[in-house]
Amino acid sequence: MLYTELLQLWDESVQAVDARDWEGALSILGKINTPTSRTLFNTASAHLALGQLDQALKALDLAIAKDERLAVGFFQRAAVMMQIDRLEEALSDCIWAQQYMRGNTVIDYRQLGLRFKLYSWQVLYNAAAVYSRMGDWEQAQDVLMSASQQRTGGRGGNIEAALDSVTKRVVLDPLLVPEGEVFRPRKQDVEQLKQRDFLGKAKVISSMIPNDDFGGFEPLRLQQPGFYEPKVAGVEDSRYMRMRIPYMARGPGQLTVPGGAMVFLFGEEDRDGMATVIYDGKRGILPLSLLDPIDLKTSKSKKDTRIPSGIPLPPGLKPPTRPKAGPSPAAPPARTRDTPPPSYTSATHTPLPASEAPKYTANAASNQPTSSAQAEEGGSVVVKVHYMYTVALSVPLDTPFKEVKEQIAQKLGQPASQLRIRHKQHGSQVLTPVNAEGEQARTIQEVAEAGRATLWCQVEDPLANRNILYQMVALYDYNAQGPEDLEFSEGDTIDILGQVNEEWLEGHCAGNIGIFPSCFAYRENNNITQS
């Protein structure tokens, strides 16, 4: 079908919708033999106005198949699923809608012709409505509490009224795109359908703007880095699992995963029945009872469905040989073993900005005020310390960082003056240093969450006869692939001694010197002041 014919029928169907002639609108839309996601959404809206839920659901399925990232399509389909009692599928659609909002609190669809703004609190409201129909009133209340903390417009008193209804055990009605709001073609395109005489008039056929990179209604986004996966022989060796039902996060560190999604089993089951997994580049915990093993063997005719593990691809260049150590002619005098390495007090920390992940958690305890209240009830906080091995200790909430550092040093049998301690802020992948010497007024309560705190610890090793250019912090564990590689763990500080090529650096960590891929660490300091 020609695009002009599609525009003509699309515009006529919108005029029928404005006249509340739903049957006429469906008749016109049925003449489009190559429908788009927007015209299919209009078809579903007309069926909903007539109360034909099954036909509306089929039209929404086709619309989402045409545009797999249409958040408003998942939002609308979740509401239809609730009305026909397909609750688990409705919950999955709410999760997909929130994921495709990509961390935005609102998406304005007027740029695509739909006079509707989709807010994240509306998606959370529908998720709470699903839980209310399942009879899980506590989870419904937690989701509504998360929605109430979002400062977005258009909410009014809907959340407060919903909380009151959930408290009284009243089932919530789902939210829908208002009746009559459909995707409309651009007015300029419709006006172009009229025949015009351009004879004798100038027509622009080229642009004087060099390298015109217009990319649509929104700016281009940075692509995610590549991922690699471990090779497995079959289902008996595979650590990939499939979610049996959708699961929403209910505590710190938990993930929100739709039903049917595949995850990578990163750790073994703990005492609470939770296991550490990787999903969509993020690491968290899920109930192991909801995971089923899958076989990754696929024939050549099937598509390669690989799941991102969150670890970057190894460098494309072959690992080079380590350069010979030699002092730089412009470098300061080499340090001896009596000279301590650069410390945090002499370095300027400029951690890389971390992109905020989509916030979709139904656990109100993940917020700082509630977590602090829970921790205060216990009076102490459990501190988990990642070293060459993992240790744990319990300290009072008001314990200064300096005393915590001394207790960690006593636990590890290392001098406190040579320990480096970092913590990871909520929702970030960057490890931030804890300056226990210069900020004695700070306490462990500032990094505690839900009565727990996680720290990364490393012992400073003196390095003789080499000039440290700058320092980096390991983002992931790196296992040596050759005799000249430098092994390190997540959170370790690496002293950079030189650059081998674009992708490999020479560094020092834990008393060892070797080469490693630069993509496995991030730059911590811009400058280093040598003692």
Domain residue spans of the chain: 3-189, 239-291, 380-458, 470-522
CATH fit for domain 239-291, picks 2.30.30.40, 3.40.250.10, 1.50.10.20, 3.40.50.2000 = 2.30.30.40
DSSP letters, 433-445, are E--TTT-TT-BGG
368 phi/psi in degrees, rounded to 5: -60, -45
* Residue 373: band (very low, low, confident or very high) from pLDDT cuts 50, 70, 90: very low
Q: Model's pTM, two decimal places?
A: 0.44
CATH fit for domain 3-189, picks 1.10.30.50, 1.10.357.10, 1.25.40.10, 3.60.90.10 = 1.25.40.10
Task: Tell me the average pLDDT across 314-341.
Answer: 49
If one looks up domain 380-458 in CATH, what number appears? 3.10.20.90
User: Is the model's pLDDT at 285 over the cut of 50?
Assistant: yes
Task: Tell me the average pLDDT across 370-394.
Answer: 70
User: Is the model's pLDDT at 206 over the cut of 80?
Assistant: no
459 phi/psi in degrees, rounded to 5: -90, 130
Q: Could you check whether 380-458 and 470-522 share the same CATH topology?
A: no
**Architecture of the domain spanning 470-522:** Roll (2.30)
State residue 27's pLDDT score: 94
Task: Tell me the average pLDDT across 83-91.
Answer: 92
Rounded distance, CA 15 to CA 182, Å? 11
Q: To the nearest whole percent, how much of the chain has pLDDT over 90?
A: 24
Helix (H, G, I), strand (E, B) or coil at 47: helix
* Residue 343: band (very low, low, confident or very high) from pLDDT cuts 50, 70, 90: very low
Q: Are 397 and 376 spatial neighbours (Cβ–Cβ below 8 Å)?
A: yes
CB count within 10 Å of CB 304 equals 7
